[in-house]
Amino acid sequence: METPLTHADTSQAPPPPPAANTQLPIPPLLALKLVLAALFWGGTFIAGKVLAQSIPLMTAAFGRFLIASALLVWISYKIERGLPRLNRQQTLGTALLGLTGIFLYNIFFFGALSHIPAGRTALFVSLSPITTALAAALFMGERLGTKRWIGIVTALFGAAIVITRGDLAGTVHDIGQSVGLGEILMTCAVIAWTVYTLISRKVLTSLSPIAATTYSTLWGTLFLGIGAIGQLDSLDAASFTWQVWVSIFYLGAFGTVAAFVWYYQGIRAVGPSRTIIFNNLVPVFGVLLSALLLGEPILMSMLLGGAISVAGVLLVNSK
């Protein structure tokens, strides 16, 4: 799943809504956009699965973010009248964002999709808010209250049910039967996204979400492009099916850019804490779309574990 950056310096982005507005109902059109954003992110697992089975993973990720970069630059000029010039600290910060959240995350993301079903991969998304909260507490001194700790434990228990396919006891005796390379790669993707999120908190004190996301995407595209050079010899674009081309365009235009713009509108209108709740729909859509479009089975352990994880995430994000 790709979640956009959510905080910005008030001199470069619209100010957060007044506190009183957080109690107002979310406008229906905005709610629809946020649901669609979650739907688009859920669809990235299906499109990613198509690419993971068809072309080298580095090339797949490069194609996705080449499209996203072009669209984000256009949006930057349309909404914010261009991109700001970066100082040395901002350059380093956005480069680290591109390395962790774009380059490493997508290598692990596509790698995981080449080994395990898309629906199972999507359920790992529910771990991101949990690992981020834990990392913030460990490395940034943020305090976690009792309710948030209960939410973390609950979400991790739900994730364990999904990962072990409901056989927690059996996994203790033979971890290889439930945890393979695909699960390890997706766990690494979650860790990469957690690091990306923590770094973004520093970067976004001086850059708007659009500027930071555009620069990090440009950096990530550069890193992916360097890696994709070595795969050119094995690449035959003439053999690409229409599903491959549609998947690349979908990932770049809808799964990255459109979802981000609508998510940003939500942050601007009702604040990040209310907007991020819609992220809990991402694994739900991922599992459902995997079943409908790829014919993947929906296991009872996925439903039960996913529901428990979502409940834990909601508890962590509640006030």
What global pTM score does this model have? 0.73
Instruction: Report residue 223's pLDDT band, with 50, 70 and 90 as the boundaries.
Output: very high
- In this structure, of 203-207, 214-218, 289-293, 294-298, the range with the lowest mean pLDDT score is 294-298
At 67-85, the pLDDT tens digits run 999 999 999 998 888 999 9
Instruction: Please report the pLDDT score of residue 21 as a whole number.
Output: 42
- pLDDT over threshold 70, residue 47: yes
Query: Are the beta carbons of 314 and 158 closer than 8 angstroms?
Result: no
Q: What percent of the chain has pLDDT over 90?
A: 17
Find the helix packing angle between 57-80 and 242-249, rounded to 10°. 40
pLDDT-derived band of residue 317, with 50, 70 and 90 as boundaries?
low
Q: What value does the mean pLDDT take over residues 135-149?
A: 74
Residue matched to tokens 């990530």: 220
Q: For the chain, give the mean pLDDT.
A: 77
Q: pLDDT by residue (tens digit) across 225-275?
A: 998 888 777 777 777 788 889 999 999 999 888 887 787 677 667 655 566
pLDDT higher for 25 or 115? 115
Mean pLDDT computed over 36-55:
86
Structure tokens at 80: 């914010």
The pLDDT, as a whole number, for residue 51 is 87
53-62, 176-185, 265-274: range with lowest mean pLDDT = 265-274
State residue 297's pLDDT score. 74
Is the confidence at residue 22, as pLDDT, over 50? Answer: no
Per-residue confidence (pLDDT) for residue 73, from 0 to 100: 94
- Within the chain, what is the greatest distance between any pair of CA atoms? 59
Task: Report pLDDT for 20.
Answer: 39
pLDDT above 50 for 307: yes
Q: Concatenated DSSP letters for 8-77? A: --TTTSPPPPPGGGGGSPPPHHHHHHHHHHHHHHHHHHHHHHHHHTTS-HHHHHHHHHHHHHHHHHHHHH
Q: Where do the structural domains in the chain lie, given as residue ranges? A: 39-317
Residues 171-187: what's their mean pLDDT?
67
Give per-residue pLDDT as tens, 91-139. Answer: 999 999 999 989 998 899 888 888 887 777 777 776 776 777 777 777 7
pLDDT at 281: 74
What mean pLDDT comes out for the span 146-172?
67
The two structure tokens encoding residue 273: 């804490």
Identify the pLDDT of residue 19: 44
DSSP letter assigned to residue 86:
P
The residue ranking higher by pLDDT, 256 or 220, is: 220
Residues 124 and 190 sit within 8 Å (Cβ to Cβ): yes
Q: For 1-15, how does the pLDDT look when each residue is reduced to its tens digit (9 = 90+)?
A: 554 444 434 334 444
